[in-house]
Structures are given as C-alpha cells and as structure tokens.
Amino acid sequence: MTAPLRPLPVLARTALKATLLAAGGFACYWTYLTVNQGRLLFDARRRPAQEVLPDGISLYAHEVPGGMLSGYVYQDAGAGGVRDLLFYLPGRGEDVLQTMQHLKWLPRHIGFASFDYRGLGHSDGRPGEAAAVADASQFLLHLRRALPGTRVHVVGRSLGTGVAIQLADLQDFESLQLITPYDSLLELASKRFPLVPMRQLMRHHFDSISHCEKVMQRTKVLLAEHDNVVPHACSERLMAAWPGQVARQTMAGTDHYTIIEQPETWLALSEFALQSDMGCQASQAPAAPLREVQPPGEAARQDASVFGADAA
C-alpha cells in the first residue's frame, strides 16, 4: 500500500503561499505592462483644450485611429517670412505648448512645429513607436507643402530622439539635432529593471543605435551636464556608432529636464541650423538677433518614468 501523504509543515506551507502570491503578482504586473506599455512608455496624459493659442501659433491636424492628431506651427508674423523651421519631436509626456513658451528665444526667421503624440495632450489614439514615426512623417510632408522653400531642421528630445532618427531614414531634411539621446530604449529599460523580462514584453524598442546607420544629415548632440535619466554612456554609445561626424555640446548647469528651459539651448539649436559648414564640429555661425524678452518661469518637471521609474 502507498503511504498516506503527510501535510507540509507550517513553515513550508507559508513559504509556498508566499511564492505563489509573488508569482501571481509578477504575472499580473507583467500582463499590465504588456497591455498598457504604449501609454506608460509615452506617459499618455490628456490636457484640457486651450481655447486661445499664443500669437503666431496655428493648428495642424490629421486623422488617426480613434480621432485626430494635433500639431502646432509657429511663425513670427513680424519676421518677414520663415526661412528655417525647427521640427521638434518631444520627450516622454512633454507638454508641447508649455515648451513653446521658450520660442521667444528663437532668432528671427526661424519657425517651429511640433505635435502631441497619440493619446497625449490634445491628440487622440493610442501611442506607439511606429505611430509616432508615421505621424511625424505625415506632418513633415504637410509642412513641406505649406512652407515651400523653407529649410527643415529636425530636433528630437529624449524619447523623441528615437523618432527623429527613424524619420531621417524616411525623409530628407537639412540637419538633425538630438537632445539627451539614448542608444536603445529597450537596453535602457532592461538595465533599470533587471527582474522584468523587457525583451519579451517591450514592443517599442526605439533601437536608435541600429537606425542611425542610415542617417545622412549633418548631426549635433546636446547633452545635459548632469543627467540621471539618460546616462552619458548611452549617448556616447550612440555617437560612437554614428556613420559620420557628430557635433556635440554640453549645456552647462543643466539636467535632463532643465536643458530645454535655457536660452543657451535654443541659441545652440538655432546656430547649428543656420550654419552651412557640413564638417564643422562646433557651431561657428554668428547668431541672428534675438528678441528682447523676459525669461519665463521655471517649467514644470515632467514625470520621466518608464513603467513607473525614471527613463527618457
């Protein structure tokens, strides 16, 4: 006869229950990340509609699944026409309209365009890597039709640098500038969350180090002096893989968030856009005259977490 099964000791039963609960918790958490990763990765938050836009800003829209995508185009009515345009691809959860308060620091004859990723700000739909690249490409085509003869300079910030690099393979433009870029968002997230199987869960890899192989545009990288979100080592790996020369500049006294708030950053972006020397490693062109403005107040910090912790 088979001996009857003996009950597990109390301590063993407690350990087993704890293990099962932990496993169930991890499974639920990973399922949540898998289902909602697009919204978590882009920090998709809606904002109340703004009835009155600042002077010089016009609206752009195109249809996306679930509604409309919203974009913004800035032209200084008194500048006598826009000769150059910065096409800005924002960071994670970035309030584009809030960032646009700093456009007063742009030199004359330089316009600005940007948009809210799907599910963010005033845009509908579900955010994602492929969707962001497709929307950026469609918006840029519109800008070329609406502003013929205008030189376009693409600027990506943090999360948006991955979009900007992929856009460079789809369309031609004058220059590319990357603010606090990363080599791979998948690698960045995997290092921060070693217990989470990111390679199996993440659908939006933003593998910039692979996509950069086809970039032909003259390029500049702007780094924050102190960056706890995208370590300098990540940016350095990307620059080391670049197919051509990359100009670089570190903005003194800035971190991952404050770099976009400084007038020196906007001046650096403008100078590189206006220079014509393709091989120049540091911006040498004289700056166009700046408008006299009062510096705006400190911009609110954006929560920069991937899946609940810091990221781009």
Per-residue pLDDT at 296: 32
From residue 50, how far is each of 72, 112, 116, 173, 185 by CA, in Å? 12, 19, 13, 31, 32
Report whether 238 contacts 181 (CB < 8 A). Answer: yes
User: Tens of pLDDT along 208-226?
Assistant: 999 999 899 999 999 999 9
Task: Pick the more confident residue, 44 or 133.
Answer: 133
User: Tens of pLDDT along 183-211?
Assistant: 987 677 666 666 565 665 667 678 999 99
Mean pLDDT of 158-166: 96
Residue carrying structure tokens 């646009």: 100
Per-residue pLDDT at 55: 78
Domain boundaries, the chain: 13-45+53-290
For domain 13-45+53-290, the CATH class is alpha beta
Distance CA 310, CA 55 (A): 35
Per-residue pLDDT at 7: 60
Distance CA 80, CA 76 (A): 8
User: Tens of pLDDT along 118-131?
Assistant: 999 999 999 999 99
Q: Which of 24-28, 32-36, 46-50, 291-295 has the lowest mean pLDDT?
A: 291-295
Encoding tokens for residue 116? 């809210």
Per-residue pLDDT at 169: 92
Instruction: Map residue 306 onto helix, strand or coil.
Output: strand
Helices marked H in 43-147 — which ranges?
A: 96-99, 129-146
Per-residue pLDDT at 82: 86
Encoding tokens for residue 48? 């109340």
Per-residue pLDDT band for 281 (boundaries 50, 70, 90) equals very low
Task: Pick the more confident residue, 263 or 205.
Answer: 263
Listed ranges 4-8, 15-19, 79-83, 203-207; the one with the highest mean pLDDT: 203-207
Count CB neighbours of 269 within 10 A. Answer: 27
User: Which pTM was predicted?
Assistant: 0.78
Q: What is the mean pLDDT of the chain?
A: 79
Nearest alpha-carbon partner for 247 in 205, 277, 226:
277
* Sequence-ordered list of residues with C-beta below 8 angstroms from that of 156, at least 6 positions apart, any chain: 88, 89, 162, 163, 164, 165, 176, 177, 178, 179, 181
Ranges of beta strands (E only) in the chain are: 57-64, 67-74, 84-89, 110-115, 151-157, 175-179, 218-224, 246-251, 305-306, 309-310
Nearest alpha-carbon partner for 164 in 31, 175, 291:
175
Q: Is the pLDDT of residue 298 over 70?
A: no
